[in-house]
């Protein structure tokens, strides 16, 4: 069996996660809107499955500064989720949320972005758990400001087993009523190899006889 093709090119697998992420984005938008007291829309323009070495090029340059909110999860599935905001996106979000230009990323901005990242990551994780009727327990989130490659390396280091693939989800945040006020983020979900196999089985795309 071509496991690589099954994960990266199977339309049923991609469509299922597109639907899951649409549900997660709706839940996240409602939660963030309640926190901020204003209208928030979160859309999911793209969902892809990518090999780990190719993830960064889908987002930006390896040495590009970015802000990451990371949480690990375990239970019926285990892995790590990393929500990435590029530096300019953090400033855009801060401007939209606070109504003023932000020249430097201070502690208040970091705290705000970390809370948003926690809500968004947990919402997407809950959508996966509900869709597949499994139990998934998230860890408390941690935040870091570093280069893109360093953020991804830190996330991968939190997984005991080596893994080859990640679900890469592009998200767009629209705050208020002006659709031109957009800020984009990226959710990188890295299930363990065992969890990827379990997901494929839950979808009926893989049987016990297909796994050595």
Tens-digit pLDDT profile for residues 122-172: 899 999 999 999 999 999 888 888 999 999 888 888 775 678 889 999 998
pLDDT for the residue numbered 100: 65
The region of weakest confidence among 13-17, 34-38, 157-161, 185-189 is 157-161
Residue 112: φ, ψ to 5°: -65, -45
Domain ranges for the chain, please list them. 3-207
User: pTM for the complete prediction?
Assistant: 0.87
Q: Decide if 46 contacts 185 (C-beta within 8 A).
A: no
Residue 80: φ, ψ to 5°: -140, 145
Look at the domain 3-207 and name its fold: Chemotaxis protein chec (3.40.1550)
Question: DSSP letter string over 176-192?
Answer: SS-TT-EEEEEEEEEE-
Q: Decide if 40 contacts 174 (C-beta within 8 A).
A: yes
How far is Cα 39 from Cα 158, in angstroms, rounded to an integer? 35
pLDDT in tens, 159-209: 756 788 899 999 988 877 767 777 888 999 999 888 988 888 888 877 665
pLDDT for the residue numbered 188: 92
Mean pLDDT for 57-65 is 91
How far is Cα 98 from Cα 186, in angstroms, rounded to an integer? 22
Q: Which residue reads 């984005």 in tokens?
A: 25
Q: Decide if 20 contacts 1 (C-beta within 8 A).
A: no
């Amino acid at each position: 069996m071509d496991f690589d093709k099954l994960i990266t090119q199977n339309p049923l697998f991609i469509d299922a996660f597109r639907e899951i992420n649409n549900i997660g984005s709706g839940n996240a938008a409602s939660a963030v809107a309640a926190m901020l007291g204003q209208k928030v829309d979160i859309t999911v323009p793209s969902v892809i499955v990518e090999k780990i070495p190719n993830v960064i090029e889908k987002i930006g340059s390896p040495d590009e500064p970015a802000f990451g909110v990371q949480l690990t999860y375990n239970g019926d599935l285990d892995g790590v989720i990393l929500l990435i905001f590029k530096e300019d996106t953090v400033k855009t979000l801060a401007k939209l949320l606070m109504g003023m230009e932000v020249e430097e990323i201070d502690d208040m901005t970091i705290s705000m972005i970390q809370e948003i990242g926690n809500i968004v990551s947990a919402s997407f994780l809950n959508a996966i758990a509900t869709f597949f009727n499994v139990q998934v327990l998230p860890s408390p989130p941690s935040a870091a400001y570093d280069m893109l490659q360093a953020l991804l390396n830190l996330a991968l280091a939190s997984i005991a087993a080596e893994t080859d693939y990640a679900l890469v989800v592009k998200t767009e945040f629209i705050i208020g009523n002006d659709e031109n006020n957009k800020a984009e983020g990226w959710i990188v979900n890295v299930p363990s190899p065992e969890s990827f196999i379990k997901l494929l089985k839950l979808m009926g795309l893989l049987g016990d006889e297909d796994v050595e």
